[in-house]
Amino acid sequence: DTEVTQTPKHLVMGMTNKKSLKCEQHMGHRAMYWYKQKAKKPPELMFVYSYEKLSINESVPSRFSPECPNSSLLNLHLHALQPEDSALYLCASSRDRQQNEKLFFGSGTQLSVL
């Protein structure tokens, strides 16, 4: 099983809503990532979890709240988002964070904030 599964695939939410994005992998990977990607741009790193501990937070606004309940799951809780937060949100995992470890990506959640 070499998949990273993200749900939902599409999400439309209002600025007062609370929603969560989910990510799951069963490859035994110990590093998991959230990226934000605007159209025709490269992904921007948001958060990194390493061995279930938050190791990198790239100055992301507090309206995005990550959670790693166990080594296979990664959530991104969304609250009071702004229209400019509309983007493709990609989850990824890797065996660890070493130089030669490739990231496996999910197919993303396309988020629209109205």
Partner 1 sequence: AQKITQTQPGMFVQEKEAVTLDCTYDTSDPSYGLFWYKQPSSGEMIFLIYQGSYDQQNATEGRYSLNFQKARKSANLVISASQLGDSAMYFCAMKEVLSNYQLIWGAGTKLIIKP
Kindly list the residues in this chain that would bind partner 1 in the complex (CB under 8 A).
Answer: 40-43, 45, 48, 56, 88, 90, 92, 97-100, 102-108, 110
Report the residue number, 78 or 90, with the smaller CB distance to partner 1.
90
Report the residue number, 42 or 69, with the smaller CB distance to partner 1.
42
Q: Which residues pair with 54 in a beta bridge?
A: 49
In whole angstroms, how close is the CB of 5 to partner 1 at the nearest point? 11
| Cα–Cα dist 65/69, whole Å | 13
| Cα–Cα dist 76/65, whole Å | 6
By DSSP bridging, strand 104-105 and strand 10-13 are unpaired
Report the residue number, 78 or 92, with the smaller CB distance to partner 1.
92
